[in-house]
Amino acid sequence: MTQTRRVWRAVAAAVAALVPSVVLAPSATAGPTPSIALVAQDAWTLTGGDVHAKLDVQGAAPGASIWFIAHQSLQSRDAFDSTLEAEGDLGGTNDTVVVPVDALPLDANGNRDLTLRLEVPGGVRLAETLGARGPGVYPLEVELRDADNETQAGFITYLVVVGGAGADAAITSPLGVAWIWPLSAPPATLPSNGLDPEVVNQLEPDGRLGRQVSALDRTAGVPLTIVPGPETLDAWVDSSGKQSIANGVLALQRARAVHQVVASAYMPIDLPSLLRAGMAGTVDAHLAAGEESLRVFFGERVDPRTALARPVDGAALSRLRTGGVDRLIVETDALAADEPVEVPDRPFLLEPPPSLVAAGPITAVASDSALARLLSGDDPPAVRAQRLLAGLSVMAYAETAGDPRAVTIANPAQMDPPEELIDAVLDGLRANPLLTPTTVDAVFEQLPVDVNDESVVTRELATYEPPAPPVPALAYESTRARLASLRGFAPGVNGIDVAERALLSSVSSAWSSPDGAARAEAELASVEALIGGFLARIEVPEPSTITLTDRAGDIPLTFRNDTEQTVTVLIQLQSPKLSFPDGIEQVVELQPQNTTVHIAVESRTSGSFPLSVTVTSFDGALTIAQAQIQVQATEVSAVGLVLLISAAVFLALWWMWHTHRERARKRVPAPVPEPAT
């Protein structure tokens, strides 16, 4: 309809909203609400040819008709983007064709089959032919109207008209389309060591990922670029006891021979977030685990030189390049806002901050964020598919001098596409005279880097402020170090591989939402629970009192090892009044069950004093337990003994001398007094 008609409809709707309505009880015989929806449509039509479509029409009253209103062809990407807006400009009306609903036959599914003839260029104009006269992309309004010509429902789609061979407007170089499918789910392993049922459901043939993988067997003629999540592939293998899920594993492995596979981190992560938090080691662990998991799944190493980076900033770009990535896929939304608004249709150079990458820029392509968003939403799959194909066709018609170009489209990360959407886009790309499906690898290999005024086009990244990691960096690093120590201390610990997966999971960007914080913390806590549970099976002596009856002696310590494996521990000793001839740190091998260790000690004095015993892993990183033993030293030193004996001898001699003197005094007679004179 024209812009004026749109304005009058808006006014009428506003007036109607101000008028009080009378609510009537619904009639028991009332039919469905009138509606019309697109079920299927030809991706493109030759000039003067027939447009075929299927329409789902419900609740049409007797005498209802369908109006097909074609607008003028779109001349630019901006004009196409405008038609997608809520009050977008569809352009002037080109032609209108009215078809009675009852004139359209029903198929086996109850849909209406439509065949709409396009007007032949230069031919006679007929009422039943639609005047889309030349090659181009035409917005098409489809309205269901009642017998009084009142619009009941409608939608907007697009006619893509292609000139035949030799036509004046025929393009000389079809637009390359690199369609990227990220195939990953949130981390699948629960902290309880089971698989998350919600993730497993995604792997089923009718699940979010299962539907896409099943479609890989229907992609003949349409090469894709697949970015599988390595941890998701591990979960697929772990669930492959079910035949339906096992078929998905086989389909993915077959796809390796047909489609490009791009390596990725083990789980979805926010690379800029982890790097800003100083967790570069975590990033390295994710990338290394992802590469190894893909190698095992596909039976060969996946080329790591290409990466899909979202989100991305200068630090992430630097880290990827250090890891061997020299071809990057970024989203147009990640490019600096002051760049030209045109969507890049060739590789370009991406300039990171010079302080981060001294070697210079990296080659990149940009995924068209706006076109990728057309695949999502609540509109019928056929409408979404036709919008995407129309947008690509508009860009194809905008070619200049036949130079080769390509547009990259990466599906939204958690997109849940119905089969009808996937198949409609695949069918639209297959044998399309305007579009040539390709891979990202082919885009880099076959298209030269874009040049502007004889200089290579270099772009910059937009500023990205990453969120904090799902768990604090200090807590993560502490747990990571403890788990690494446990693997070296006791490599045969049952469940340690699951714990390492949980450790990686705790920093996944899947938990970036407030609801995900608890899951991230639970993942980290499960690692600590494994470490603590293992160490608890090593028991140290109960606190007790040990008596030493000599200056030097042994203190027996009996350990209980219920880990069912031999472990090497470090015993650390500390006491204010004891010395240890063999050192205050002693390495001891604990066999399963009981092991008694004799600690050589020397006392410095007599009395009662504590002995602290700390038992750790061999590297000292894991504290197994601590105990305090009371030592009673009752022995006397040699000097004390000499003094004691000397004192006894002195007392004995003094007593003997004193006794002898007293006896001698008693033996002397008393003097006789002289008579008085």
- Between 647 and 583, the more confident residue is 583
Report residue 522's pLDDT band, with 50, 70 and 90 as the boundaries: very high
Q: Do 560 and 633 touch, CB atoms closer than 8 A?
A: no
Q: Give the Å distances, CA to CA, from 49 to 46, 310, 414, 428, 430.
A: 5, 43, 38, 17, 19
Selected from 3.90.1580.10, 2.60.40.1730, 2.60.40.10, 1.10.10.60, the CATH number assigned to the domain covering 538-633 reads: 2.60.40.10
In 65-185, the DSSP E strands lie at 65-71, 93-100, 112-118, 129-130, 136-145, 151-162, 175-183
Most confident of 395-409, 494-508, 631-645: 494-508
**Bridge-based pairing state of the strands 455-456 and 451-452:** antiparallel
**280-309 pLDDT, tens digit each:** 999 999 999 999 999 999 999 998 899 999
Nearest to 49 by CA among 135, 120, 146: 120
The reply to whether 176-460 and 538-633 are identical in fold is no
User: Per residue, what are the HEC states of 226-244?
Assistant: EEECHHHHHHHHHCCCCHH
- Indicate whether 338 pLDDT > 50: yes
pLDDT on residue 558: 87
Q: Alpha-carbon distance 130 to 235, whole Å? A: 52
Q: Alpha-carbon distance 118 to 44, whole Å? A: 12
Cα-Cα-Cα-Cα torsion 319, 320, 324, 327, nearest 10 degrees, comes to -150
Q: Alpha-carbon distance 234 to 214, whole Å? A: 18
Helix runs in 516-636, H state only: 517-535
**Bridge partners, 603 (sequence order):** 578
Q: Do 642 and 653 touch, CB atoms closer than 8 A?
A: no
Q: Alpha-carbon distance 625 to 535, whole Å? A: 8
Per domain, the residue ranges of the chain are 3-12+30-162, 176-460, 473-535, 538-633
Q: Alpha-carbon distance 659 to 667, whole Å? A: 13
**439-476 pLDDT, tens digit each:** 999 999 999 887 776 678 888 899 999 999 999 999 99
- Residue 639's CB is within 10 A of a number of other CB atoms, namely 8
Selected from 3.30.70.1150, 3.20.110.20, 3.30.300.20, 3.90.79.10, the CATH number assigned to the domain covering 176-460 reads: 3.20.110.20
User: Judging by beta carbons within 10 Å of its beta carbon (0-12, 13-18, 19+), is residue 295 exposed, middle or buried?
Assistant: middle
Length of the chain: 677
Q: Alpha-carbon distance 473 to 281, whole Å? A: 11
Q: Give the Å distances, CA to CA, from 338 to 334, 366, 460, 462.
A: 12, 15, 9, 9
- Phi-psi category of residue 14: left, alpha or beta, with phi > 0 → left and psi -120 to 50 → alpha: alpha
Q: Give the Å distances, CA to CA, from 538 to 242, 361, 558.
A: 40, 55, 11
Q: Alpha-carbon distance 507 to 523, whole Å? A: 9
**Bridge partners, 336 (sequence order):** none
**530-555 pLDDT, tens digit each:** 999 999 999 887 767 888 777 778 88
Q: Alpha-carbon distance 233 to 263, whole Å? A: 12
Dihedral of alpha carbons 481, 487, 493, 494, sign: positive
Superfamily of domain 3-12+30-162: Macroglobulin (MG2) domain (2.60.40.1930)
Q: Alpha-carbon distance 69 to 56, whole Å? A: 18
Does the reported pTM lie above 0.75? yes
Distance of CA 278 to the CA centre of its chain: 19
DSSP per residue, 389-421: HHHHHHHHHT--TT---EEEEE--TT----HHH
Helix (H) or strand (E) holding 624: strand 623-633
pLDDT on residue 8: 37
**Bridge partners, 331 (sequence order):** 367
Q: Do 470 and 508 touch, CB atoms closer than 8 A?
A: yes
- Indicate whether 357 pLDDT > 60: no
Dihedral of alpha carbons 189, 191, 197, 199, sign: negative
Lowest mean pLDDT among 197-201, 428-432, 494-498: 494-498
Q: Do 424 and 381 touch, CB atoms closer than 8 A?
A: yes
pLDDT on residue 3: 43
Q: Do 526 and 191 touch, CB atoms closer than 8 A?
A: yes
Cis peptide bond N-terminal to 353, omega within 30: no
**578-621 pLDDT, tens digit each:** 888 888 999 989 999 999 988 888 887 788 888 889 999 988 88
Backbone angles phi, psi at 487, to 5 degrees: -65, -40
User: Judging by beta carbons within 10 Å of its beta carbon (0-12, 13-18, 19+), is residue 143 exposed, middle or buried?
Assistant: buried
Report residue 672's pLDDT band, with 50, 70 and 90 as the boundaries: low
- Indicate whether 639 pLDDT > 80: no
